[in-house]
Amino acid sequence: MEKAIFAAGCFWGVELNFSKVNGVVETLVGYTGGDTKDPSYQEVCGKTTGHAEAIEITFNPELVTYDELLEKLWEFHDPTTLNRQGPDVGTQYRSAIFYLNEDQRIKAEASKEKLEQSNKYKNPVVTEISPASKFWPAEEYHQKYLAKKGIDIACH
């Protein structure tokens, strides 16, 4: 099994979308990319931690590749809106790829460049590509939140 960490707005919808991808074994929502140790949802929403709402994906690379997960990431959100997805605004909703190794960094950069060159968007792709830092799991009530509520579509 391998892992990937992405941020693409409200983690509830991102988690729901990736949980439906064949080869994704587990999803965990949480916080990463900031300075505060073991932040709470309220702290992250307070915009003082530097963390993004993110998802840690455990996947079987024999069923889905990291490149395919990157393609899904681009499909699941608008990578041209800085610190915003739909009505959600703030740095915690930024678009980001947190790479876990050099191979992931190379693939993320190539995937972003390919998307930019496709001219799919009139605005530039603002997705940050950064080394992964400590991933802090969100509170239990956030895990699989939409599925627990019987909601089968993402927020945006």
Q: Are 3 and 97 in contact (CB under 8 A)?
A: no
- Measured CA angle at 133 (ends 74, 27), to 5 deg: 50
Catalytic residue of the set 5, 10, 28, 96: 10
Active site residue 45: no
CA dihedral 16, 142, 56, 26 (to 10 degrees): -60
Which residues, 6+ apart, have CB-to-CB distance to 116 below 8 Å?
A: 124, 125
Distance CA 82, CA 97 (A): 14
Residues taking part in catalysis: 10
